[in-house]
Structure 1
Amino acid sequence: MRRAAVLGTGSCLPERLLTNAELEQMVETSDEWITARTGIRTRRIAGENEQNYQLAAQAARRALDAAEVRAEEIGLIIVATISPHMLVPSCACFVQTEIGAAKAFAFDLNAACSGFLYGLDVAAKYVAADPNMKVLVIGSETLSARVDWEDRNTCILFGDGAGACVVGSAEGRGIIGSRLYSDGSLWNLLCMDSPASRNPDLIAPASKGCFIQMAGRDVFKYAVRAMENAVTDLLTQQQLSIQDIALIIPHQANIRILDNLAERLGAQPSQIFCNVDKYGNTSAASIPIALDEAVREGRLHRGDKLLLCSFGGGFTWGSMLLEW
């Protein structure tokens, strides 16, 4: 049986490392406070020649190399992001030009931290409709451009980076199923205003600026429960248990969410992939960066069952099951 499968992965992180000690000089916080509450010790911050699309393009090149696929073979490019350097054209169009994927069509997808999962699901459906198609799915963020560096509750959490994968048809492995959800009624708990309106009649009266705003405690409560339910529903649908899963890659939000999720699922520590300590929360980029690291560290083997799950602004959340 042929399925849409991940043929290769890649990632790209900015050069600059921002430590908790450096943040102590910027806002009222401490390394101990950040580490205890988030598990984050460092994060990467984009600099010159590290625009969102440039990070995305480099991650894409590495995924193409790993898949042994040429850019000219790509039929579609999807970039999941909430921090493009321009609103128009899309980040995906810039990536297309950067890598020379002249035959592809391209668009961005905004589902916040769940964007990569949504993108993979879209890619799987295109490949199911045309088994000869190859799709480049990228999660890429430069959130350093979209945080309030005077708000210690958010600026300590987020980092920049990109991860990518090539999706195509494969025999006997691939995406088994997914469960995707959203609830727009809770938008105000995790949101980011758009740039100020040029039309005075459309100016949002409560706008604080184009940066991330988050009610951390409420988000924590919803995130753990939502991801747990998404995973449980998918496993039940596929008649599997958590013990059947070789590796779980959750969205890397903070260590307390990951620990609580693992406990609720009854997962062993060895089943959970975690790199939040190194990169912080990179939103749509977190799962593909972690997936690429897991692949390159030899954590996945042919036939392993891999579980991805995420939660983000919208609210959006979901899970996906793959056979590697």
Structure 2
Amino acid sequence: MAGIVDFDISYPSATADIRAMHRASGVAVAELARITHCESFPVLAEGEQAWELALGAARSVLGRTGVETSRIRQVVYAGSGEWDRPFWSPAAKVADGLGISGAHCFEVTNFCNAGMTALRLLSAAGALEDDAYALVLVGDRLSRMVDYGDPDSKALFNFGDAAAAVLLAGGDGRFRILRSAMRTDGGWSDYYAGERTDGRVLIRRAAHRKGLADAYVRHFTSLVDETLEALGRERHEIDHFLINHGDRDMHHRLLDTLGIPVERSVFNYDRLAHMGGADTLIALGDLERADRLRRGDLIMLATSAMGFSWGITTLEYLG
């Protein structure tokens, strides 16, 4: 298995504000606040590119670690597949910007679960040599695909933007990747889809359908238990449980179902909305900066994505 050596987050320069959303959609500010849980959050500015944010995060990581670009064998860009340009490789663009010339560059599309999917692929046996490194870039432009003028899309108004860069090593890093477990329920595949409108891809939801919240709890709980059984551990041994910030109520419901105290998770809803695939990495960084991690801590990253896919990525903190 591979290990995470270092990672960093990069935020865009603009913000989305629920008062502007109210003016565009007609949805009451109070109702929007119940969706976003904060008045404003980071989004891409006009003309700002997601790949540039990923490049900035990667530069910070490489600058801190001092890893030579010649030792990076793979560069993977993970997200929704709606990149800054169509029919184009953001992984290759970032690699070129970093001066990485000997790596295989490619993309992984699994929406907000894509970053953890990339970690899963690269941590498989034989995927990365012991003396080599890989760079996983998480970057999307979710806010640019939300139609604030459509009140039926209000559930998506909490979509913000952030990019992350994760440096993996063939051996152990600060975080050892213990296990990755994922699954998809294709019965929800058409619930959300993109629609091309005036040169933009806008996300639209199909007619409301009950059961998605139950599916979240069911699949996450099953993946957690499957992981714990494989590791020979129990639920009470989970030191930190971090989840995508799509729905605060779901966050609490899942913790309650698993019997995990809220103190063992991170809640950033007061300052950030759903920052795409970077959510759990933002929370992980918050834990480390707050000195809440101890060597040997068992950390689970719970990620979900349109499609619908769910994943549990389990780490051990080595310090």
What's the TM-score, normalizing by structure 2? 0.88
Residue in structure 1 matched with residue 146 of structure 2 by the alignment: 147
- Partner SS for 2:102: coil
Q: Compared with structure 1, are the counterparts of its residues 55 and 170 closer, same or farther at alpha carbon in structure 2 (3 Å cutoff)?
A: same
Equivalent residue letter for 1:89: W
In 1, distance between residues paired with 2:270 and 2:194?
24
Residue in structure 1 matched with residue 18 of structure 2 by the alignment: 20
Residue 205 of structure 2 is aligned with which of 196, 202, 214? 214
In 1, distance between residues paired with 2:223 and 2:21?
35
Residue 180 of structure 2 is aligned with which of 163, 178, 183? 178
Residue 289 of structure 2 is aligned with which of 296, 299, 311? 296
Where structure 2 has 5 or more consecutive residues not aligned to the other structure, the ranges are none
- Note if contact 2:128-2:134 (Cα within 8 Å) is conserved in structure 1: no
- Please say if 1:90 is aligned against 2:89: yes
In 2, distance between residues paired with 1:41 and 1:256?
18
Pick which of 224-233 and 98-107 moved more. Answer: 224-233
Residue 276 of structure 2 is aligned with which of 275, 283, 293? 283
How far residue 229 of structure 1 moved from its aligned partner, in angstroms, is: 1.9
How far residue 22 of structure 1 moved from its aligned partner, in angstroms, is: 3.0
Residue 50 of structure 1 is aligned with which of 43, 48, 51? 48
In 2, distance between residues paired with 1:46 and 1:127?
37
- Note if contact 1:52-1:91 (Cα within 8 Å) is conserved in structure 2: no
- Note if contact 1:189-1:214 (Cα within 8 Å) is conserved in structure 2: yes
Q: Percent identity?
A: 23
How far residue 192 of structure 1 moved from its aligned partner, in angstroms, is: 2.3
Where structure 1 has 5 or more consecutive residues not aligned to the other structure, the ranges are 198-208
Q: Compared with structure 1, are the counterparts of its residues 49 and 38 closer, same or farther at alpha carbon in structure 2 (3 Å cutoff)?
A: closer
- Residues 101-160 of structure 1: CA distance to partner in whole angstroms, max 9, x if unpaired? 222211111111111110110121266552122111121111122111212424422011
In 2, distance between residues paired with 1:36 and 1:48?
26
Equivalent residue letter for 1:107: F
- Note if contact 2:162-2:276 (Cα within 8 Å) is conserved in structure 1: no
Residue 34 of structure 1 is aligned with which of 32, 35, 44? 32
How far residue 48 of structure 1 moved from its aligned partner, in angstroms, is: 4.9
Residue in structure 2 matched with residue 262 of structure 1 by the alignment: 255
- Please say if 1:109 is aligned against 2:108: yes
How far residue 38 of structure 1 moved from its aligned partner, in angstroms, is: 4.7
Equivalent residue letter for 2:143: S
Q: Alignment RMSD, CA only? A: 2.5
- Note if contact 1:189-1:219 (Cα within 8 Å) is conserved in structure 2: no
In 1, distance between residues paired with 2:160 and 2:92?
23
Count of aligned positions: 311
How far residue 261 of structure 1 moved from its aligned partner, in angstroms, is: 0.9
- Partner SS for 2:171: strand
